[in-house]
Amino acid sequence: MNRQWGNATLLTLMGLMLLGLMGMTALHRQLDEAVRLTGETRQHLLAWNQAASALTWAATLRWPPAQTAWQCRSFHPGGLRGCMKAAARPEVILLRGEGRRADGSPLFLYQLATPGLNGHPARLAGGWLDFCPEKPPHNCEGEAGP
């Protein structure tokens, strides 16, 4: 009687290969998720830095007297956009720097300032914010032309 002993070994080997394939698939999914998260974080940081640069640039500009609507200027080579408007508090102006997220939505950073000499704003210490300082917050909404 001739017995065949290779079937059990072959099935065991195929089972181990299947387990290895499942492990590799799970690792691939985990790495894909890490790459996606890293890309989203990178895009957010780019938008944040663009808004911070725009805010710093806006603080160096000479602005006309503040109004209740946003007055915006764009620096086309760098894609920066800075805005200014009168804040709800008297003798305070609100500067806004804009960045663009990967999906095209804006990211805003704000700076409280006072009207300075020759139309240049004088930034207030501790006035840099990543949220709208106005009450109600819809006072920070609105678009203005370039």
* Whole-number Cα distances in Å, 9 to 5, 12, 17, 40: 7, 5, 12, 47
Could you report the per-residue pLDDT of 1-19, keeping only the tens digit for each? 566 667 888 889 999 999 9
Give the pairing of strands 93-100 and 121-129: unpaired
pTM: 0.73
Residue 79's pLDDT band (cuts 50, 70, 90): confident
Could you report the per-residue pLDDT of 103-124, keeping only the tens digit for each? 888 889 999 999 887 878 988 8
Residue pair 76/69 in contact (Cβ under 8 Å)? The answer is no
pLDDT score recorded for residue 90? 86
Report the distance separating Cα 38 and Cα 119, nearest Å: 41
Could you report the per-residue pLDDT of 35-48, keeping only the tens digit for each? 999 988 999 999 99
Once rounded to an integer, what is the mean pLDDT over residues 125-145? 72
- Average pLDDT of every residue of the chain: 85
pLDDT score recorded for residue 146? 43
Report the distance separating Cα 114 and Cα 119, nearest Å: 10
More confident residue, 78 or 143: 78
